[in-house]
Amino acid sequence: MIDLHTHTIFSDGELIPSELVRRAVVHGYKAIAITDHADHSNIEHVLAGAIKAKYLEDAWDIRVLAGVELTHVPPEKIAQLVKKARELGAEIVVVHGETISEPVAPGTNAAVVELNDVDILSHPGLITVDDAQKAVDNDVCLEITSRNGHNRTNGHVAKIALEVGATLVVNTDTHSPDDLITKGTARKIAMGAGLSEKQADKVLAASMRFIR
């Protein structure tokens, strides 16, 4: 299992990084990205903590990627903050998409897919074909999520992604210990979004690009 979207006590998660990573190891994870919620007010703090957590790679057989999830940032401010995240050492940049379960500002998805330095548009809700095509053009992955609420539009996201050839990844958006899943469960989530077994396996393999 490779999980590129998780949270710790540095934002609204329940675990410190060592607790989160240890549980991921037990679940058979190959890699985990710590991507706490960030905006202009806390990005330095969030990334500093995630980078320090990489020390766990020396003790356990797992890759720990330092990242952020830029969350509820005004669309016109996203590009500037993505650049800052990279300058601060972010290995993974996730941006909180237009999930139907939160009042994300309209235009967030469109702003993200115009950029070529965002890795993942998380739970993008009712993403349009045009925005999905731009995600293809700028190599932005679209997320299928196991998180309740956000996962209500997984089927739509998968359908649109297949239509335009966008890259899909399965993530947990973990906030608590029970949110972590196995690779087998991730495969079922992909298939539950309407993908075939072969397509689901391709989606799980897509995350490998981030740890090579």
Question: pLDDT 10s digit of each residue in the chain, 212 long?
Answer: 999 999 999 999 999 999 999 999 999 999 999 999 999 999 999 999 999 999 999 999 999 999 999 999 999 999 999 999 999 999 999 999 999 999 999 999 999 999 999 999 999 999 999 999 999 999 999 999 999 999 999 999 999 999 999 999 999 999 999 999 999 999 999 999 999 999 999 999 999 999 97
Cα–Cα distance between 64 and 42 in angstroms, integer? 21
Whether the Cβ atoms of residue 194 and residue 159 lie closer than 8 Å to each other: yes
- pLDDT, position 206: 96
Whether the Cβ atoms of residue 141 and residue 168 lie closer than 8 Å to each other: yes
pTM for this entry: 0.97
Domains of the chain in sequence order: 2-211 (3.20.20.140)
Residues with Cβ < 8 Å from 111, sequence gap 6 or more? 75, 76, 78, 79
